[in-house]
Amino acid sequence: MHFVVWLLIGSSSLCLPHNMTAQASPVHAPQQIREEMFVTIGGIDQWLTIKGEDRNNPVVLFLHGGPGDALSPFADALYAGWEKDFTLVQWDQRGAGRTYSKNGPSIEPTMTVERMTQDGVEVAEFLTKHLHKRKIIIVGGSWGSILGISISHAKPELFYAYVGVAQMVNWQENVSASYARVLELARASGDQPAIDALTTIGPPPWHAASKWPKFRKWEKIYQAKVITAPPAPFVISREYASPEERAQYDAADDFSFVPFWGLTLSGPLTKVDLPALGTDFAIPIFMIQGQQDLTALPELAKAYFDSIKAPRKQFYLVPGTGHEYSSTELDLIRKVLVEQVRPLAKA
């Protein structure tokens, strides 16, 4: 049976070697888990953190955006209190965060959607064995939503459900819709500098990487103008706050651009077309979309959502929220996980 909902929501760490496995614990004895480690995934060492108040809780794997924007430095603030109900896993993906600082730019030839999808499957397989779970839950945002859908198709038996946030669908369609919306907002505001800059760039498709940052400048300006929901607490954790850590994080973000976008904007990310992967899913699908998202426009996500078949599916629209998390959106994600997804894992 399919359920469809369109809702408007108002406004000191322990380092372990990668081959160490957790000891099974009785289901009646809550045990805190707090691990940070490099795990060999896809032939390279990749950084994982695992945190929760009770290792018997369901496991949530977060798939960050970017592709180079690891969430590990901000996770303690963003997901404060969530460890009561879930074991939370942050993964610095290939080319991101501490995974990049460990491996360096030599991994550039392996930076493909297919390789990253397989990485995600291997991370999930590691977590099920390491934490003695049958399945886990995945939450993906922006680029992570592309990865999440791809992983859901590749190995659905590993997952209880997929929760997509700022769901991307087809890169060319997404960027074309984004350009049109930003230009519309600029014209409505009588913003001649923006209008001139955007019309000079011209509508997509673009074949020069130099056009992308010029467009992104105005997209970010207008994204900030239409956001009314309170911002999410993007506060960096102390262990990631040193100048060295920040420099490594920024280097990873810069590094990820070229392999995925390409100098002529013809890289693998520009060819992403999620509907082409198939619209039948073997797991429940939940999508949570900012109503004011100018990067992953909600109407594109909703059309994609309407086309899919899944054991259960629900769509949520969050007013006042753009492409990045708002506090309102974070509260809703947690509510969906606790009330809709956690019962699936506890059944």
Tens of pLDDT, residues 166-199 = 999 999 999 999 999 999 999 999 999 999 999 9
Mean pLDDT taken over the chain = 91
In this prediction, residue 333 has a pLDDT band, given cuts at 50, 70 and 90, of very high
Q: pLDDT at residue 148 above 70? A: yes
| Phi, psi dihedral angles at 162 (to 5 degrees) | -120, 130
Query: Comparing 134 with 208, which gets the higher pLDDT?
Result: 134
Query: Comparing 13 with 259, which gets the higher pLDDT?
Result: 259
- What confidence tens digit (pLDDT) does each residue in 307-331 have? 999 999 999 999 999 999 999 999 9
Query: Comparing 265 with 257, which gets the higher pLDDT?
Result: 257
58/56 Cα distance (integer angstroms): 7
pLDDT of residue 28: 55
Contact in structure between 80 and 111 (CB atoms under 8 Å): no
Say which residues have a Cβ less than 8 Å from residue 175's Cβ, sequence separation at least 6: 204
* Residue 138 buriedness (CB in 10 A; 0-12 / 13-18 / 19+): buried
Sign of CA dihedral 342, 344, 345, 347: positive
Q: How far is it between the farthest Cα atoms of the chain?
A: 66
74/193 Cα distance (integer angstroms): 35
- What's the mean pLDDT in 88-106? 97
Strand 87-92 vs strand 44-52: parallel, antiparallel, or unpaired? antiparallel
- What's the mean pLDDT in 276-289? 98
298/278 Cα distance (integer angstroms): 20
313/5 Cα distance (integer angstroms): 8
In this prediction, residue 29 has a pLDDT band, given cuts at 50, 70 and 90, of low
Question: What is the third-level CATH fold of 6-16+31-171+231-346?
Answer: Rossmann fold (3.40.50)
181/248 Cα distance (integer angstroms): 34
Q: How many CB atoms are closer than 10 A to CB 204?
A: 21
Q: pLDDT at residue 123 above 80? A: yes
171/260 Cα distance (integer angstroms): 12
Reference 90, options 341, 268, 257, 82; nearest CA is: 82
Q: How many residues does the chain have?
A: 347
| Phi, psi dihedral angles at 156 (to 5 degrees) | -60, -25
| Helix axes of 143-154 and 113-130: crossing angle, nearest 10 degrees | 70
pLDDT of residue 1: 40
- What's the mean pLDDT in 18-42? 72
Q: pLDDT at residue 26 above 60? A: no
Contact in structure between 292 and 325 (CB atoms under 8 Å): no
Q: pLDDT at residue 24 above 50? A: no
Q: pLDDT at residue 3 above 80? A: no
* Residue 239 buriedness (CB in 10 A; 0-12 / 13-18 / 19+): middle
pLDDT of residue 177: 97
Query: Comparing 264 with 112, which gets the higher pLDDT?
Result: 112
63/71 Cα distance (integer angstroms): 8
- What confidence tens digit (pLDDT) does each residue in 288-300 have? 999 999 999 999 9
In this prediction, residue 207 has a pLDDT band, given cuts at 50, 70 and 90, of confident
- Structure tokens belonging to residue 81: 């209190």
Reference 36, options 13, 69, 63, 64; nearest CA is: 13
* Residue 122 buriedness (CB in 10 A; 0-12 / 13-18 / 19+): middle
